[in-house]
């Protein structure tokens, strides 16, 4: 139930100015998403591995977060070499491997894992609140920033309420009876009750915020607290220029090939 995946550290990626880091890594993600040439997979993986090495994040951090999305994408593309394409590379009885399907599988899986890894680098080296502040200063509408912050704040409360209600219902026999229909009714009651409690709490929170001035016009000078870095260090500028140049290089290579 937690959104925070930040791992404290002193790596160059940790110290990278958040706005520059967000903009550069997002540009690189979009560039990788445009790749359709199979030979570009190798430099994509190399660049991603280099950035992850610079982030100084543990390998277990990446492997743990790869598990579920990795299984999903592999289940989605594992059959492509056997059912897609016309050029047969090898055949064993009724089973044949086709070149076009194999290339498509490598491209989809490669892009997915590289983009996902860059996202883990971004969120693993930047606190969530700093990320929202960076988005706000890059032009994110205030309402969306407030929604993200409130969701981050109260997701923990919802998780705690769900855990408490689930434990209480387990003490009253949830999951101990063999009637599947009754068990489904209990789960529906639990989720519906949680939804109603969340809605009521959101109303109370909004009323409390409105009483404290939320939604009223604020002087531009009030919210000028600089919680982000200045982004003027040579390391920040070097990383930004390098990552943006790599992103442009992938786009040029894709277009010109």
For residue 217, tell me if it sits in a domain.
no
Residue 159 structural domain: 141-211
Sign (positive or negative) of CA dihedral 201, 203, 204, 209: positive
Sort 250 into a burial class: Cβ within 10 Å, 0-12 / 13-18 / 19+. Answer: buried
For residue 113, tell me if it sits in a domain.
yes
Q: How far apart are CA 256 and CA 37, in angstroms?
A: 11
Q: What is the pLDDT of residues 104-158, one digit of tens each?
A: 899 999 999 999 999 999 999 998 888 888 888 888 888 888 888 888 878 878 8
Q: Say what the pTM is.
A: 0.75
180 or 215: whose pLDDT is higher? 215
Q: What SS3 class is residue 172?
A: coil
Query: pLDDT confidence of 176, banded at 50, 70, 90?
Result: low
Name the pairing type of β-strands 95-98 and 88-92.
Answer: antiparallel
User: Is residue 66 located within the same domain as residue 18?
Assistant: yes
Q: What is the pLDDT of residues 11-25, one digit of tens each?
A: 999 999 999 999 999
User: Is residue 195 located within the same domain as residue 153?
Assistant: yes
For residue 222, tell me if it sits in a domain.
no
User: Is residue 91 located within the same domain as residue 187?
Assistant: no
User: Is residue 127 located within the same domain as residue 151?
Assistant: no
For residue 6, tell me if it sits in a domain.
no
- Domains identified in the chain, total number: 2
pLDDT at 217: 60
Is residue 180 pLDDT above 70, yes or no? no
What's the token pair of residue 57? 């994040």
User: Is residue 54 located within the same domain as residue 79?
Assistant: yes
For residues 51 and 118, is the Cβ–Cβ distance under 8 A? yes
Is residue 221 pLDDT above 50, yes or no? no
For residue 219, tell me if it sits in a domain.
no
User: Is residue 83 located within the same domain as residue 153?
Assistant: no
User: Is residue 70 located within the same domain as residue 184?
Assistant: no
Alpha helices by DSSP H, 172-233 = 180-211
For residue 31, tell me if it sits in a domain.
yes
Query: pLDDT confidence of 51, banded at 50, 70, 90?
Result: very high
Is residue 161 pLDDT above 90, yes or no? no
User: Is residue 194 located within the same domain as residue 88?
Assistant: no
Least confident stretch, 75-79, 228-232, 240-244? 228-232
């Amino acid at each position: 139930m937690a959104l925070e995946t930040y791992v404290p550290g002193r790596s160059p990626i940790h110290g990278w100015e958040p706005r520059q880091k967000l903009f550069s890594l997002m540009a690189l993600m979009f560039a990788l998403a445009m790749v359709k040439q199979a030979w570009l997979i190798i430099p994509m993986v190399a660049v991603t591995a280099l950035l992850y090495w610079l982030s100084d994040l543990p390998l277990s951090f990446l492997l743990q977060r790869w598990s579920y999305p990795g299984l999903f994408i592999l289940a989605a593309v594992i059959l492509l070499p056997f059912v897609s394409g016309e050029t047969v590379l090898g055949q064993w009885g009724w089973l044949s491997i086709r070149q076009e399907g194999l290339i498509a599988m490598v491209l989809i899986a490669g892009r997915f894992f590289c983009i996902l890894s860059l996202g883990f680098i971004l969120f693993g080296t930047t606190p969530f609140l700093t990320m929202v502040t960076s988005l706000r200063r890059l032009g994110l509408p205030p309402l969306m920033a407030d929604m993200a912050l409130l969701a981050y704040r109260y997701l923990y409360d919802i998780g705690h309420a769900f855990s408490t209600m689930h434990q209480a219902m387990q003490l009253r026999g949830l999951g101990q009876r063999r009637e599947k229909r009754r068990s489904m009714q209990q789960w529906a009651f639990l989720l519906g009750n949680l939804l109603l409690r969340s809605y009521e709490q959101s109303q109370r929170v909004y009323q409390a915020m409105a009483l404290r001035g939320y939604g009223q016009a604020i002087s531009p000078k009030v919210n000028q607290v600089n919680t982000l870095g200045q982004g003027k260090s040579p390391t920040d500028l070097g990383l930004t220029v390098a990552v943006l140049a790599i992103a442009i290089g992938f786009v040029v290579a894709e277009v010109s090939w």
